[in-house]
Amino acid sequence: MSSSFLGAYPRTRLRRNRRDDWSRRLVAENVLTAGDLIWPVFVQPGDGQRQPIAAMPGVERLTIAQLIDAAGEAQALGIPCIALFPATEPALKTEDGREAWNEGNLICESVRALKRHLPDLGVLCDVALDPYTTHGHDGILVEGHVANDVTVEALVRQTLAQARAGCDVIAPSDMMDGRIGAIRDALDAAGFEHVRIMSYAAKYASAFYGPFREAIGSKRTSNRPLDKRGYQMDPANSEEALREVAFDLEEGADMIMVKPGLPYLDIIRRVKDRFHVPTYAYQVSGEYAMLRGAMDNGWLDERVVLESLMGFKRAGADGVLTYFAIEAAKRLKAG
């Protein structure tokens, strides 16, 4: 026994409080509940069958009718909010992504349907052009590069269409400079001062997004892998993330998101410690695919679902966007 422990051992035994379930719960430093979860859902047009996503086993694209049923289950489990992402028909995709601000588009119709059937369920809408562009980038290309200011103008139009449909939370994921201020001003001017903004403030140019791009059909451009390093953050940087968050809060963001999640727990911790604002993590498609694949092959116990989500809470996240939301909420309910 090291001399540094003399005087504490054996009177102090940290295992005492770990002995029983009731005492473990009593001294738990962090708590994960269904109320901490936001469920991302992929919506598809038409009234056909659910479409499995090969790179995300267990995740499916849903029609609007199927979405209503699934969202009702989520709400019954205590999940407070769902996030919507469209699988846009290729014929509707254009260079400028104009379908994004069509008030009859798939997302706007989905929001209206959800608000008719489940008015008390929160609805979060992604704001970016990648589901709607032929090239798969998050903005409008000018001379081969995503142009910041013209893209912000398009994002404002997209935001207002979603707000008019009844969206509760606008979540810009594009990483354009100045878009939070422009969106906040436009919402307020149009009478939507109650609509919240959850900014993807620290969104990294990550390799963990691949399955998501398959799900919405924006995986490749000109037969080459998408390269979004011109506007998404360098995984090597953390001080830059704090600057991004500071700008977005100053411009009017109500909540902040860090994306991806597990590889960036240090960023979540730094953001929470610095700003003390509602902070969220996105457990992205690649993270889901890794854990799901390992569980399905028997390499990992399914307890890793709740363990990974608790990791976000411990790092300082107030909530998590996760494709495991339904599964996690059921596990939490079962105890």
**Residues tagged in the binding site annotation for Mg(2+):** 244
83 burial (CB, 10 Å; 0-12 / 13-18 / 19+) is: buried
Residues contributing to the annotated binding site = 244
Q: Is the dihedral of CA 130, 226, 211, 244 positive or negative?
A: negative
How many Cβ atoms are within 10 Å of 253's Cβ, its own excluded? 26
| CB 40, CB 284: distance < 8 Å | no
Whole-angstrom CA distances from 2 to 8, 11, 209, 325 are 11, 15, 47, 45
Assess whether 330 carries a catalytic annotation: no
Sequence-separated (6 or more) residues with CB below 8 Å from residue 46 = 63
Nearest to 236 by CA among 280, 273, 200, 206: 206
**Which phi and psi angles does 103 have, rounded to 5°?**
-70, -5
CB 328 within 8 A of CB 37: yes
Q: Is 313 a catalytic residue?
A: no
Task: Please give the Cα distance from 281 to 257 (Å, whole number).
Answer: 5
| Structure tokens belonging to residue 61 | 């694209």
Nearest CA among 234, 235, 246 for reference residue 271: 246
Alpha-carbon gap, residue 212 to 198, rounded angstroms: 19
311: left (phi over 0), alpha (psi -120 to 50) or beta: alpha
Choice among 203, 228, 272, 313 that is catalytic:
203
What 3-state class would DSSP assign to 278? coil
**Separation of alpha carbons 208 and 206, rounded Å:** 5
Alpha carbon distance 130, 148 (integer Å)? 14
Which one of the listed residues 93, 228, 259, 313 is annotated catalytic?
259
Catalytic residues: 203, 259
